[in-house]
Structure 1
């Protein structure tokens, strides 16, 4: 009888654990479905969302706002890595025009890293609606950083940008964070 009770208890715990995992995955998947809805590239947006946010173990237990924090942190890491890459390019650059453009890009990426850091801090603090709105403004400001650098190379140096597809991921991740955050703001989530 004791063995049967122990087995029953273990089975109940196993079912509860499975339900909890399913519920957590559901938040990520539901949020990614919501982000992709209405987009002409819905399948791509959904896959990008699940792949990007799901890569962080914290996404397993995060609510929507927690997913925004994760996306902002990923965007910050991406921007920092690109800024570091630009610094390496600057160190090796001999062309004065390219050096000037790289300096401009480095400043833009440094500002982007600071803005994303501030947005992450405000979001992680679980701020009020004003703080969430400020975080959304910061995310709007960082979107397009890679494109600004690309254009600077084209117009000032007359060349293609040295930025790679990986450097351009900043736009996708910051857009993802912004879309989820706007949903949170529209639905009163904090």
Structure 2
């Protein structure tokens, strides 16, 4: 089955998507550790509370907690930049995780290179009026998403290291470069124009 979509170069799209989610999960876990440190000195109880927070709850807690820091302007600046990146990438992550519905080679292109791969986003939403979003995702876009998730993960680790030592030893689960406090450049917020299926 030479055209099996689960084999050969098509699998590279899935591989990059998987890496993106691994980096996202690492970033989210580190952000929960940061919240736990800010609200309760990273005690087991504070970490338990932070780990049970939803993504938006983590973002709100991070925003509220950083506003209480008065003696570390540079750290506040990093926490603010981290919050901005996390907020933007939540939208990207949700768009890909809940909308990515298929992968295929581009029409009329040779099937010999991953640069000819496309993903397909299909979403349906209600909220009082049925609407859909349908668009293609180039392989390059998936690579960029993966890189942004890696940047978020490493930057969060660097901020965490400024706050406290990683006594839970969760930081080294992914074999990546040492974290850096150099501020990443975040992507733009995701803007999708839906098609309304109801008048």
TM over 0.5: no
Per residue, is there more helix in 1 or in 2?
Answer: 1
Q: TM-score range by the shorter chain?
A: 0.3 to 0.5
Instruction: Look at both structures and tell me which one has the larger radius of gyration over its CA atoms.
Output: 1
TM-score (norm 1): 0.37
Structure with the higher strand share, 1 or 2 = 2
TM-score (norm 2): 0.36
Q: Which has the higher contact order (CA 8 A, sep 6+)?
A: 2
